[in-house]
Amino acid sequence: MSATIVIVEDEEDLLELIEYNLEKEGFETIGFLNTKTVSQIIDEEDIDLLIMDRNLPGIEGSEFVTLLREDGIQIPVIYLSAKNTDKDIEEGFERGGDDYLTKPFNMKELILRVKAMLKRTGKKLNDGGNLSYRDLFLDSSSRTLKVDGKNIEITKLEFDLLSEFIKNKNSVLDRDYLLENVWSDGGDYQYRTVNVAINRLKEKIDPDKTKEYIQTVRGVGYKLC
């Protein structure tokens, strides 16, 4: 799951530009031109980071963050502000800021600071749900598979099947479990359906039969090995 970032910026064009660039990096964004309904969103949504301008209509940005901190809200805050004196920056940190970037700014630097902040605060950065095991790598955004760095063509069903094995790499998966979680469209499938699909998948990811990624556990099911 990707991080969700609230951006409060009263310049609409700049707000849209920040949203666009962060979304390209895989983040969810919620933009505001002022602070009027920000508290409500923070109460209702799981927010991971707040990017806050200071020169805002109504309450000044750092004063708003001070109120959040007084309410016990500890969402990390990056100030993005034209207030750029040493005193301004010091004031921003004193008023609950975790980082401070002055305008004009470099968009790449902002993105790097966002990623660094989320990493420091323990939020897993969006990886699109990518999965890996040994030399298998599944890219969930493009639904592609690489084996030892080489692209391997697999079907949607095979992708989902391999994903399920990697997600449960320490468990034996029986056929009933796989039918329910991979073939979950209500069809009347039989155990043979699972057997055939797994054999086809094994042939694609291990054509030389030297790596034995998937092992049959007789009388039970299958597991990664």
The token duo for 130 is: 């990518």
Mean pLDDT rounded to a whole number for the chain: 88
pLDDT of 126: 47
Domain check: are 137 and 216 in the same one? yes
Domain check: are 114 and 32 in the same one? yes
Domain check: are 115 and 186 in the same one? no
4-8/49-52 β-pairing: parallel
Q: Residue 62 belongs to what domain range?
A: 4-120
| Lowest pLDDT segment from 124-138, 143-157, 169-183, 198-212 | 124-138
Q: Specify the pTM.
A: 0.56
Distance CA(178)–CA(164), nearest Å, equals: 8
Domain check: are 138 and 217 in the same one? yes
Distance CA(114)–CA(120), nearest Å, equals: 10
**Count of CB atoms situated within 10 Å of the CB of 27:** 21
Domain check: are 149 and 115 in the same one? no
> Does residue 1 carry a pLDDT above 50?
no
Mean pLDDT across 16-29: 92
Answer yes or no: are the C-beta atoms of 81 and 100 closer than 8 Å. Answer: yes
Q: How many domains does the chain have?
A: 2
